[in-house]
Amino acid sequence: MAFCQHTLSLRDTLEMKALDLQRRDTQKTAAPRSRQPRGESYAPPSSELVRISTLEDLISGIRSVTPEQQARLQADSRVWCVGDVSLLHRKCFAVVGTREVSPEGAARSRRLARELAMAGVVVVSGLAKGVDTEALTAAVDAGGSVVAVIGTPIDRAYPAENKHLQERIYCEHLLISQFAPGDRVFPTNFPERNKLMAALSDATAIIEAGDTSGTLHQAAECGRLGRWLFIAKSVVDNPLLQWPKRFLGQPQVASFSTTGDILKAI
């Protein structure tokens, strides 16, 4: 079980208590949720550790989002945070890609995350299996700081095998979700998560992704928000992929071979 401490305002405490009551009422009528396998239990953060904020508050004075884009992203909607929100004041770089990552892609994910962490950059990712897990684990192991933006409420860990990593992140780093505790999880959560991650980050690198990958939602969001998008050269050079052609040539889009290519740009 994870043990960590953070401060919580009186207002947030009251809001969380009200939310807990609402969740109990909802659960009485909601369809039963699937249980995690035995031995795979996740220790969610207690309500005292949770800070309720908004995207607008989290990036105000740090990263710009036009009023039109704020309205589209519903920047005043609630966001649930557990951990050190001051990490968002530092340079933040998202490392994302496919869940079914190749051995070469996994190695690239680890190397990029490790070198970004060693350069003092906060590594942001989504805690899915594949590229996300490789990047977050490598950054943490290198002594760096990370932010995990998840597509489930903070009281659930998905995939289950990442439960201990998620616990460590909310205790020692920062865990963020735009979905209320107790909410059901839908496939549409994950594209929405990618949009939030793009807004929270200064730039995004795609390590490996197919033409139908959900990661492309984040690539498109970078263009809308004017955030840097970096595409691994191995992806750009893959003749079987069409999606890189849609982005290369746009402002603030570049291919990269080394971490140095990225650090020069950002």
Q: Is the pLDDT of residue 17 over 50?
A: no
Cα–Cα distances in angstroms (integers) from residue 235 to residues 98, 123, 171, 239, in the given order: 12, 21, 34, 9
Q: Is the pLDDT of residue 18 over 50?
A: no
* pLDDT for position 2: 59
* pLDDT for position 7: 44
Compute the average pLDDT of residues 24-41. 45
User: Can you tell me which residue has the tokens 């963020």?
Assistant: 176
| pLDDT tens digits for range 37-63 | 445 699 999 999 999 999 999 999 999
* pLDDT for position 51: 97
Domains of the chain, each with CATH number or no CATH: 44-265 (3.40.50.450)
| pLDDT tens digits for range 212-248 | 999 999 999 999 999 999 999 999 999 999 999 999 9
Q: Is the pLDDT of residue 255 over 60?
A: yes
pTM comes to: 0.86
Q: Is the pLDDT of residue 144 over 70?
A: yes
Residue 54: CB atoms within 10 A of its CB come to 16
Burial of 75 (0-12, 13-18, 19+ CB in 10 A): buried
Q: Is the pLDDT of residue 8 over 60?
A: no
Give residue 30's pLDDT band: very low, low, confident or very high (50, 70, 90): very low
232 three-state secondary structure: strand
Give residue 265's pLDDT band: very low, low, confident or very high (50, 70, 90): confident
SS3 content of the chain, % helix, strand, coil (to 5): 45, 15, 40
Q: Is the pLDDT of residue 16 over 60?
A: no
Compute the average pLDDT of residues 173-199. 96
| pLDDT tens digits for range 67-119 | 999 899 999 999 999 999 999 999 999 999 999 999 999 999 999 999 999 99
Q: Which residue type is seen at 92?
A: C
